[in-house]
Structure 1
Amino acid sequence: MPAKAGTTMKTHAKARFETKIVAYWTITIILALSITLSGIGQLMRFGGNVDLVTNIGFPLYVTTILGSWKLLGVLAILMPGWPRLKEWAYSGLFFLMTGAALSHAFAGDYGASGFHILLPLIYAALAVASWALRPEGRKL
């Protein structure tokens, strides 16, 4: 019976590990796609990206800076290796998204149902979740 109990524990540990990996990649892909689309939108100045920054008093060139940072952050998170760069990318995305939410809040630009504040906070939460779930090979 002890051999079976040990096997069961290994099976549960393996299942937890696999669940964590699936959760990590699911969250990371959602984060990467969202931030990539946002970054491209800012670089190309699509849709409401111009209004989003100018309505809160930022100059239009900020879209180029933010869009570039977003795309570089996504690359750093997705590429293998470079664990220190990943740490910087995760923290950069967190500060970028919380800074966006705060900028809109302080400017009184809440959007429909607080969308301009909630969406960046959701992205920040995804970044934290991806960071927390990352596999050992992606940690310092």
Structure 2
Amino acid sequence: MSTFTGNEKIAKVESRPIGRTVAYWIVTIVLAFSIALSGIGQLMRYGGNVDLVTDIGFPLYITNILGTWKLLGVITIVIPGFPRLKEWAYSGIFFLMTGAALSHVFAHDYGDGGFHVILPLFYAALGIASWALRPKSRRL
């Protein structure tokens, strides 16, 4: 007969690397905040979002599609549960950001200092880091 004193649960919690959890949340919050702002800007067609997509040959309605998918992806990676959906959201963010960078490259629209290419690749890297650092409770 096993007796549970409560110390087993405390030991289990303390054995998690706190630095990894903190790193996960920092990276994920930066990623979520950045992608959410971008998605809201696209849905509102705020600032340079109109020129950003039309200058590389995309129709303006693409901002509605991209903005919606970005917000849904952010919600998915931040809320608890739904590990399979999180996998899809991380994949979507990766493909969206690398696709944006490549679209700007192919259109020869690099922005000042390559900003239109570097920023989406940075977001793709944040997505990979968030995915790799996620706790077991957020994995399949």
Q: Same fold judged by TM-score > 0.5?
A: yes
Give the number of the structure whose residues are more often helix, by fraction.
1
Matches within 5 A, 1:62-81: 62-81=62-81
Match of residue 116 from structure 1: 116
Q: How far did residue 94 of structure 1 move?
A: 0.2
User: Do residues 90 (structure 1) and 90 (structure 2) align?
Assistant: yes
Percent of pairs with identical residues: 72
Question: What is the DSSP-based 3-state SS (H/G/I as helix, E as strand, rest coil) of the residue aligned with 1:56?
Answer: coil
For 2:89 and 2:17, the matched residues in 1 are separated by 24
Deviations 1:16-48, CA, capped at 9 Å, x for gaps: 710000000000000000000000000000000
Match of residue 26 from structure 1: 26
Contiguous gaps of at least 5 residues in structure 1: 1-9
Q: How far did residue 80 of structure 1 move?
A: 0.6
Task: Please tell me the root mean square deviation across aligned C-alpha atoms, in Å.
Answer: 1.2
Match of residue 60 from structure 1: 60
Q: How far did residue 56 of structure 1 move?
A: 0.2
Give the partner amino acid of 1:46: Y
Structure 1 stretches of 4+ moved >6 Å: none
Question: What is the DSSP-based 3-state SS (H/G/I as helix, E as strand, rest coil) of the residue aligned with 2:109?
Answer: coil
User: Do residues 47 (structure 1) and 47 (structure 2) align?
Assistant: yes
Q: How far did residue 71 of structure 1 move?
A: 0.1
Deviations 1:80-123, CA, capped at 9 Å, x for gaps: 10000000000000000000000000000000000000000000
Match of residue 5 from structure 2: none
Matches within 5 A, 1:1-12: none
Give the partner amino acid of 1:44: M
For 1:64 and 1:17, the matched residues in 2 are separated by 40
Match of residue 3 from structure 1: none
Q: How far did residue 62 of structure 1 move?
A: 0.2
TM-score, scaled to structure 2: 0.89
User: Do residues 101 (structure 1) and 131 (structure 2) align?
Assistant: no
Q: How far did residue 69 of structure 1 move?
A: 0.3
